Amino acid sequence: MVETATTTTITRTTSSAAPNSHAAPSATPSPTAAQAQRNDETTRLIYNLKIIAFLCLLPFVLFAVFLKHLLDYLFALGQKEKDVSGKVALVTGGGSGLGREICLELARRGCKVAVVDVNSKGCYETVELLSKIPRCMAKAYKNDVSSPRELQLMAVKVEKELGPVEILVNNASLMPMTSTPNLKSDEIDTILQLNLGSYIMTTKEFLPKMITRKSGHLVAINALAGLVPLPGAGIYTATKYGIMGFMESLRAELRLSDCDYVRTTVANAYLMKTSGDLPLLSDAGISKSYPGLSTPYVAAKIVKGVLLNERMIYVPKIFALSVWLFRLLPTKWQDFMLLHFYNFDVRSSHLFYWK
């Protein structure tokens, strides 16, 4: 009897322990999960070591890049401007300022020029100036490039009257020096649609035909505000950063699609003397830090870069190095340098005051 009772007790104990083992599974990961975790850690370690190795080699890389650009600048090694005579160039915002000067530069190189601007008076004034250039053919197109419908109709008209667009220069933009809290919703929409939306829509309109012809060049006139933020013009700065992102993404897409025979260029230009915003920017001390450039000078540099198929143009060139070094600084140092360059004080605080 005793033996039987003991056996029964052992059986009950075993059977009651079984459910507990299922209810509380072991916290130790399975061999497969542990191996996967070790693999991930090894991969991350290798990546970190590559970054450290790159940083160690960085001074040599920078020296090589500097030497290349110096040689290109001094001797223009193997660089020859492509022939665009007889090609159609369409310039948005061509009725005044930088857009007008770009039209003149392209016309001097033999391009047929489609001058596009919402200001019809400015358009015809530009065409009149172009008519003084020997053998230049130019037409004015009053158009709001932020309107998809108007853009489509204009594209058909340009191709019918001048021919297929070979060079598209997106230049039209607004530069309101108003802080974001002081902008109305419809004003923000207008800036976004013109400064960024029109660049996207014109590209979408003309690029497919360039790909079909296996020839073309897309040019985006950007600003240094697309590389370094401009306090007091947050929405404007956002559109310029957007242009950079869009054009760089587009360039990669064209290459991956085996369509990189269509070239892309982003021109990052400093403030110009003819800009209507210069008095306001002068209040912030920007002009004092680095005087504005003349539009003919900027236009000549941009067009030359386009004809050399440069992916990125900086006017002036020294700002390319300045921007790169600026991004390497810690955040607080960046803020200090930024505010020091713009020389913001109590008089100019209204440009970005949020309180």
Q: Check if 236 is active-site.
A: yes
Q: Which amino acid is at 242?
A: G
Question: Which two tokens mark 267?
Answer: 């021109």
| Integer Cα distance of 10 and 154 in angstroms | 92
Given 73, 124, 199, 236, which residue is catalytic?
A: 236
- By the 10 Å C-beta count (0-12 exposed, 13-18 middle, 19+ buried), 142 is classed as middle
Residues in the chain: 355
Q: What is the CA radius of gyration of the chain?
A: 30
Question: Which two tokens mark 74?
Answer: 């001094």
Question: Which two tokens mark 147?
Answer: 């309107």
Which residues touch 272 (CB under 8 Å, ≥6 apart)? 97, 98, 278, 292, 293, 294, 295, 298
112-117 and 165-170: which strand pairing?
Answer: unpaired
So which residues are the catalytic ones? 236
